[in-house]
Chain A
Amino acid sequence: DAKTTQPPSMDCAEGRAANLPCNHSTISGNEYVYWYRQIHSQGPQYIIHGLKNNETNEMASLIITEDRKSSTLILPHATLRDTAVYYCIVRVRGYSTLTFGKGTMLLVSP
């Protein structure tokens, strides 16, 4: 799987949009971008995934650059409960194992 690079930490004010970047410059054509998050003392939680088009669900939006070398996870209106470590993972769909990198610790403050 291609490697990803994320900032170790980010801050966001409650109610504002949180934009979490991820670099994956060696991504292959058949590799998807996945985002998971892990709230303290809980198991990781799936957020969203995409191949090349932008994706949106009830939790977040995923913006993937045209060259697919980077992506941004957007939490449109961050709440205190969004404080967590966010993992960007690149993997081939159909290959089930997830390899977690160090992730970004997002702290949402009042």
Chain B
Amino acid sequence: DTEVTQTPKHLVMGMTNKKSLKCEQHMGHRAMYWYKQKAKKPPELMFVYSYEKLSINESVPSRFSPECPNSSLLNLHLHALQPEDSALYLCASSQDQGWSNTGELFFGEGSRLTVL
């Protein structure tokens, strides 16, 4: 199984809503990532988890709250978002963050978020 599964595929939310994006992998990977991609732009790194601990936060606003409940799951909790947060949110995983990481990140198909 070389899949990263993201749910939901599409999400529409108001600025006062609280919602969550979910990501799951069963490849035994110990590093997981959230990227954000605006239309016609490259993906931008948001967060990295290594062995279930947050290792990188790219100065992401606190209205985005990541969570890694176990090595297979990664969540992104959303609260009080703005319309400019509308984007494709991509989850990825890799073997780990260390030398054994060949550089191959496995990406999910993304969750397309629209904030009204």
Q: A residues touching B (Cβ–Cβ < 8 Å)?
A: 32, 34, 36, 38, 41-46, 49, 87, 91, 93-103
Sort chain B's interface into a size bin.
20 to 34
Q: Are A44 and B43 in contact (CB under 8 A)?
A: yes
Interface of chain A: mostly helix, strand, loop or mixed: loop
A-contacting residues, B58-106, CB 8 Å = 90, 92, 94, 96-106
The distance in angstroms between the C-alpha atoms of A31 and B103, with both chains bound, is: 11
By CB atoms of chain B within 10 A, which of A49, A91, A98, A103 has the most?
A: A98
The distance in angstroms between the C-alpha atoms of A38 and B35, with both chains bound, is: 14
List of A residues within 8 angstroms of B52 by Cβ: none
> A91-B103, A96-B48, A98-B105 are known contacts; what are 10 more A-B pairs with Cβ within 8 Å?
A42-B109, A45-B107, A93-B101, A93-B103, A96-B97, A96-B98, A97-B33, A98-B45, A100-B44, A103-B42
Q: B residues touching A (Cβ–Cβ < 8 Å)?
A: 4, 31, 33, 42-45, 48, 50, 56, 90, 92, 94, 96-110
Q: Are A97 and B48 in contact (CB under 8 A)?
A: yes
Distance in angstroms from A91 CB to nearest chain B CB is: 7
